[in-house]
Chain A
Amino acid sequence: MLTSVFIAVVSLALFGMAAFTLWWQMHAWRTPEVLASTRFSSPDGGEQLSFSLLLPARHEQAVLDHTIQRLLESSHAAFEIIVIVGHDDPETTAVAEAAAARDPRVRVVVDTHEKKNKPKAMNTALPYCRGDVVGVFDAEDQVHPELLAHVEHAFRSTGADVVQGGVQLINFHSSWYSLRNCLEYFFWFRSRLHLHAQKGFIPLGGNTVFVRTDVLRAAGGWDPHCLAEDCDLGVRLSSAGKKVVVAYDSDMVTREETPGSLVSLLKQRTRWNQGFLQVYRKKDWKQLPTLRQRMLARYTLMTPFLQAFSGVVIPLNVAVAIFLDVPVGVAFITFLPAVTALVTFVFEVVGLHDFGKQYGLRVRLVHYLKLIAGGPFYQLLLAGAAIRAVWREQRGRSDWELTRHVGAHLDTADVRTREDVAA
C-alpha cells in the first residue's frame, strides 16, 4: 500500500513536470497567431540607433576573420565592432589588429585580467562602447547582414530594453549528439524563449543579444563571477522590470556549431548548469512581482536538475510498474510520465522535420532514427552534466571550461559536411 502511494506520488510529480515542460516547449506552435508573432517584423527603413557589437575572441584566430568580414557586410548604417582579445593571445590579436587596420569600424580592446573569462572581457570593453545599443556575438558566429536592421526595428517598434535574436546550431549531421543539441536550440530559441519574454522572466542567450547601452551600464554590466553570465543578465534585467523582446526568423538567426566532442559538450553543459545554480542562489529572481513569475523562474533555473532526475526515474518507474505487483490503477499512473515523454519525443521528430524545412536542410530517415535512438543516451549525458555541476559547485570550483570550435558550421571549413547541406 505504502509503496503504491509512494509510486503514485512520484509518478504524478514527474508527470506534472514533464507536462509543463512540454507545454512550454511547444509555446510557439500553439496557434498560428503566436507563431507569426515570434518573427521579426520587417524594418521600415528609418535607422536612428547605432550599435556597438562586442566580439570576445580567445584562441580563435581560425574563425575570427571570417566572422568579422560577415559582420562588416551588415546593411545597417551605424555600427562598430569591438573585438576583445587577451593580452596573452598574440595570434588572435594579430588577426583582430589586421581587421582593424582594414576597416575603421573595427576596434580592438585588450583584456588584461590575469584569470580570463567572457564576462570580464565584455565588462572591459563596455566603457569603450559608443553605440546606443550593445550587441554580443561569439567569434565563430555567422551573422545575417539584415539582422541589425531588424533588431533596430524591434527596439523602436516595441520600446524594448533588450532584444534577443535567434541562435541556431546547424551541423545536425555531425554526430548523434549534435543532432539533439541542434534540436534543443531549435525548441529553445524558436519557442520557449518567447514564452519567457511574454511572462517577463527570461534567461538570455550568450550571443545575438542586444541591450540598450545605458540600461546595461546601469545594471553594472555582466557578473564576472557567474558561469552563465548571459542567463544572469537576463534574470537581473527582467527581474528589474526591463522589457525583453525575442524574435526568431530562420533566415536571420545566428548560426553556430555544436561542441566538437562529447566531452566538450559535457563540459559546456556542466558550466551552464552550474551557472544556472549560481543564478538561482543569487536570488535576483525573487524581486519578480508575481508568484507565477517566481515559480517560473524557480522551475526554469532548476530545470537541468529536474531533467536529470526525471531522466533516471522515468525508466525506473516503468520498470516498477511492469515487474512489481502493484494495482492496475497505480500501474497506469506510473505510465503517465512515460507517456508524456513519448509525446515529447514525437514532437521532437516533427520539430526535426520543421527544422529541416526552415533551414533548407535535407533530413534523412537515418537522422530521425538517430534522434530517437539517441534520446536516452542524451538524457544520460544531461544527467551526468547536472550531477557534475552540483559536484563542482559544492567543491567551490567555478573556473571556465571553454568549448573549442572547429568550424563545422562553415561550409568552407569542413568539406566533408557539404554533401549533407543543401545549398
Chain B
Amino acid sequence: MTSTLEPVTAPRIPAQRRPAPPAATGRALPPRRLRSSRPDLLLCGVLLLAILVVQGWNISAYPAFSDDEGTYLAQAWAVQEGKGLAHYTYWYDHPPLGWIQLAVLTWIPAMLSPESMTVGTMRAVMLLISGISAVLVYVLGRRLALPRWAAGLGMALFGLSPLSVVLQREIFLDNLAVMWTLLAFTLAASPSRHLWHHFGAGMAAATAVLTKETMLLVLPALFVTAWRHSHRDTRKFALTGAVTACALIGFSYPLFALLKGELLPGAGHVSLWDGVKYQMTRPGSGFILDQGSGSWNVLQSWLYYDRILPLGGLAGALLLLATWRWSVTARALAGPALAVAVLAALALRPDGYLPAMYVIQALPFLALVLAGGAASVAHAVLRRGRSEREKRAAVYGRYALAGALALAACAYVGPRWYDGTRIAVTVDANAPYEAASRWMAEQVPDPARTRVLVDDAMWLDLVHAGYEPGLGVIWFYKADLDPAVTRTMPGGWRDIDYVVASPTVRRDAEDLPNVKAAIEHSRPVAVFGTGEDRIEIREVATAGGAR
C-alpha cells in the first residue's frame, strides 16, 4: 500500500500538526527515533553480532536433531515441491503458516542446491529469525521506556542465554512465532501511536498465532500493551482496529478448512475440528513441581541449560507486579510481565500437557522483565530518595552498591553461561545421525525400491539419497497411524526392509505395533554412537521377500 502520509503538495497547512492533548497516564516517554540514535545502533549492532556468532557457530552439530525439526522442514519441503501442505495427509495438527514461512525462507538455498534441504544445513535460516527477534527485543525494550543499558541487557539475555542458544538454533515453529509476536508488541508500543501501527500489530499477532497456535496465550498481554500505548482520544479506533485485524486474519484458518470442506469431522477426511480436539485432549504430563512427572522433567531440561533466565525472569515478573504502584518501569513493562504471568500460570496447571518448546515463547518476555527488574533495582539504588543536597559520600555509596551488585551478578552468571556456551560451540551431538544417513545412502543397493522406517529428522536426508518420499522412506509412526500408508503394507512389518532405530523410534515404538514388530524382526547391521543415544540401522528379516 502506498503511504499517503507525507504531504507532497504545494499548498501546505502549517497549523495542521498540533500536539495531542496529554493523557493522564504519566508514562515515561521512549525515544522518538531509535534509527538515528548512534549509541543505540552501536549497542544493538554489537550485541547482534555476538548473538549471531554464538548461535551460529557449530549450529548444525549441537543440539541433537529433534524430531519436530524434521517434521516441519519436511513439510516445508513438501510445500516447495508443490505436494500440498505436507507429503502425508495434512491433518490440521498445527496451522500451516509456520512451515509455509520455512518453505519461503529456504526456497533460494534449496533451489541452488536441493541436497541442502536437511535439518543440519537449514538450521542456518534460524539465525536470521533469531537475529530479527533479538533486535526486536531491543527495540521493544526501548519503546517500553527501558534505559539503553537495560534494553541491551534484555537483548543479551534473550539471545545469549544457553537455553536460548539451544532452543533458538532449532527449526521450531515457536521461534518464528516469537518473532511475529515481538513484532506485534513493538508495533503496539509504537511511539507515534499510529492507527495503522496498531492495525499492523493485530496482523502480526494473527500471523504469530497461525504460525504456532500457543501464541494465543500472550494476546491479552499484547492487548494491555496496545492499551497503554494508545491515546485516549484515538484508543477505541486503534484497539478495535488491532482486534479486528487479528480476528480477521485468524479466521482465515477455519475459512481455509471450510473451503477445503474439512472444517467439521466427517467420514473419509480429516478435519480442523478433529485436529483441535486432538491438541486439546493430549494426555497431561503431570504437575510441573511433582518430582518425576513428565512436566517436571521438561522443567529440569530447561534449567539444565540455564537457571538465570527462567527463574530470574520469573522473579523479575513478580518484582514488577509487586512494585506496580510505585515503579514507572513496572507499569511500562505491564505487557511482558503479564505474558510471563499467564505462561507461568498455564505451566502450573495440575495435569496439563507441557511440551519442551513451551518455554520458547516465554524467552523474550522473561528477558525483558528480568532486564526491567534490574532497571528497577538500579533506579532504586541510584535515585530513590535522592535529593539535590545529598552528601557526596552517600552518592558514592550508592554507586558502589550498584557496582557491587552488578559485579556479583556477573560473577554468578559468567561461569555458568561460559560453560553452556562452550558446549554449544564445540560439542558435536549429531555425528551418529550424519553417519547413519551416510550409511543408508551408500550401503543400501537399490534405494528407490527399498522401504525404510526413519524418524522425521533423517527423512529428508534419505529423500535426497534417492528413496521414494512418503512410501519408500516412511515417517515411522505413519506405518501405524496413517491409513494411506498402512494400506500399502498388507504384510505389516514384512513389507519393511530397514528400520533406522534412533532414540525417538525406540521410545515411541512401544505404542506402535507395526514399528515394534519391525524392530523385533530385524537385526542391527550398523550401529552409530553408544548407549541410549545410539542409532541402529536394522535390516528386517524378510527383506527382499514378500513385497
Contacts and interface: CB of A to CB of B under 8 A. Distances in A.
Interface of A: 19-20, 23-24, 26, 29-37, 39, 41, 157-158, 160, 194-195, 197-201, 238, 241-245, 289-290, 292-293, 321-322, 328, 331-332, 335, 339, 342-343, 346-347, 349-350, 353-354
Contacts of B43: none
B9 interface: yes
Nearest to A354: B236
B245 A244 contact: no
Contact of B9 (A35, A41, A289): A289
B11 interface: yes
A354 B8 CA distance: 30
Given A37-B18, A342-B248, A158 B13 contact: yes
A32 B11 contact: no
5 contacts: A24-B4, A34-B17, A200-B10, A289-B10, A322-B259
B231 A245 contact: no
Contact of A29 (B15, B195, B255): B195
A26 B192 CA distance: 16
B236 A32 contact: no
B8 A290 contact: yes
Interface of B: 1, 4, 7-21, 23, 192-196, 231, 233-234, 236-238, 240-241, 244-245, 248, 252, 255-256, 259-260
B270 to A, nearest CB: 15
A243 B256 contact: no
A31 B259 contact: no
Contacts of B194: 30-31
Contacts of A290: 8-10
Given A29-B237, A198-B16, A339-B248, 7 more contacts: A29-B234, A32-B193, A36-B233, A197-B13, A322-B259, A332-B252, A347-B237
Contacts of A346: 240-241, 244
Contact of B255 (A197, A199, A335): A335
**Closest 10 A-B residue pairs measured CB to CB?**
A32-B20, A200-B9, A32-B231, A29-B237, A37-B18, A200-B11, A36-B18, A346-B244, A243-B11, A37-B16
A31 B195 contact: yes
B230 to A, nearest CB: 8
A331 B11 CA distance: 44
A194 to B, nearest CB: 8
B234 A35 contact: yes
A405 to B, nearest CB: 32
B195 A26 contact: yes
B8 A32 contact: no
Contacts of A198: 7, 9, 13, 16
B19 A244 contact: no
Contact of A244 (B10, B11, B255): B11
A33 B11 contact: no
Nearest to B3: A23
Contact of B237 (A37, A289, A350): A350
Contacts of B20: 31-33, 35-36
A342 B248 CA distance: 9
Contacts of B231: 31-32
Contact of B248 (A33, A243, A343, A350): A343
A23 B241 CA distance: 12
Contacts of B236: 350, 353-354
Nearest to B256: A328
A354 B196 CA distance: 18
Nearest to A357: B236
Nearest to B240: A350
A331 B252 CA distance: 11
A350 B237 CA distance: 7
Contacts of A23: 1, 4, 196
Nearest to A240: B11
A319 B252 CA distance: 16
Nearest to A154: B15
A199 B9 contact: yes
B252 to A, nearest CB: 7
A282 B252 CA distance: 45
Contacts of A347: 237, 240-241, 244
A33 B5 CA distance: 13
A36 B21 contact: yes
B141 to A, nearest CB: 23
Contacts of A242: 11
Nearest to B251: A339
Contacts of A29: 195, 234, 237-238
Contact of A30 (B12, B195, B256): B195
Nearest to B235: A32
A34 B5 CA distance: 11
A339 B255 CA distance: 12
Nearest to A242: B11
A36 B237 CA distance: 15
B201 to A, nearest CB: 14
Interface core residue of A26, A32, A289 (most chain B CB under 10 Å)? A32
Contacts of A292: 8-9
B245 A158 contact: no
